[in-house]
Amino acid sequence: MTTVYITMTIVVALTLAFDFINGFHDTANAIATLVSTRALRPRIAIVMASCMNFVGALSFTGVAKTIGGSVADPSRLQYGQQVVMAALLGAIVWNLITWKFGIPSSSSHALIGGLAGAVIASEGFGAINAGGFAGIIKGLIVSPFLAFGIGYALMQAMKLIFAGGNPHKLNKRFRVTQIATGALQSFTHGTNDAQKGMGIITFALVSAGLQDDLEVPLWVKLAAATAIALGTSAGGMKIIRTLGTKIFKIEPINGFTADLSSAGVIFGATWIHFPVSTTHVITSSILGVGSAKRFSAVKWDTALRIVISWIITIPIAMTMSALAYELIYWCFLR
């Protein structure tokens, strides 16, 4: 039991490290439009996002249960804790690489891909819950298209509604409303992204025999919520610059529309207990809004680079985590 508790402590530490990195990596997406339109200064926006992420993280647990049980059955893994350690190591390394280059890749893809890769390395393909894993992947694929479509349609509607408005007055008003939608988006980010870390810790607890079900303990909720909030407070200006300035020139009405679109998709996914990539949803809503504003205004070369990072994240995270598991196995489990 001493070994189990030591391993579990390492798993918790790695998960909180992942949540912290997720905070400054992914939450930058939630306030990118808010900062780029100067609705709020960066530091104030980051503090607001930190607080709203914390509140959102404590509000729901459905996504955590999905993460904890859909990819694989933790109670059937011989080395479940080591599997989780390997998954986290692969996801953390990929998150740091993409953050270094300012690429808004998905922490959700990295974590889910990492977990699948580590499970396969440990127990083979038969240990993967094919239906559950496929369902998660489908949701991750569909949600960006949904966000793009809603962002595009809503921006077209906004253009019709405010066609005769004074641009200066409209910008001033929408900067104020952006504060509300930015806060809402940060809240919804917490309701979905922070739960992934909670689900991973719960997965490890069940695999270690320390818990019989996928209910998320209160201490896990508090730890994950705190880690992602602290990570958010560290900021992620590289990714803010990519989303806020390098896709198209965002005005306050565009930022408001993109925030509202992505927050709706993310919260809808949380409500049905489904993990989505908040990065993909937010970026896609910005692309949809930009396309509605003027298709040629979108910098499609930057958008293509982002999409490529989305496509390669799961296989790279799977490979990294599988290698990490092999290293852990040969060093400690043989």
Q: Per-domain residue ranges for the chain?
A: 2-333
Helix/strand/coil for 72: strand
Start-to-end Cα distance in the chain: 19
Per-residue pLDDT, 184: 92
The C-alpha atoms of residue 46 and residue 79 are separated, in whole angstroms, by 39
CB 46 within 8 A of CB 235: yes
Per-residue pLDDT, 67: 85
Per-residue pLDDT, 167: 78
How many alpha carbons lie under 13 Å from residue 274 in its C-beta half-sphere? 21
3-state helix, strand, coil in the chain (%, to 5): 80, 0, 15
Structure tokens at 147: 């966000």
Higher-pLDDT residue of 150 and 35 is 150
Partners of residue 72 on adjacent β-strands: 128
Phi, psi (degrees; rounded to nearest 5) at 201: -65, -40
Which uninterrupted H or E stretch holds 253? helix 252-271
| pLDDT bracket for residue 239 (50, 70, 90) | low
Weakest-pLDDT range from 98-107, 269-278, 281-290: 98-107
Q: Is the pTM of this model over 0.85?
A: yes
The C-alpha atoms of residue 76 and residue 128 are separated, in whole angstroms, by 11
The C-alpha atoms of residue 116 and residue 216 are separated, in whole angstroms, by 21
Burial class from Cβ neighbours inside 10 Å (0-12, 13-18, 19+) for residue 78 reads: exposed
| pLDDT bracket for residue 243 (50, 70, 90) | low
Tens-digit pLDDT profile for residues 15-57: 999 999 888 776 667 777 787 788 888 788 888 888 998 999 9
Tens-digit pLDDT profile for residues 72-110: 999 889 899 999 999 999 999 998 888 777 776 777 888
* Position 277, amino acid: S
Look at residue 248 and tell me whether its pLDDT is greater than 80. Answer: no
Average model confidence (pLDDT) across the chain: 87
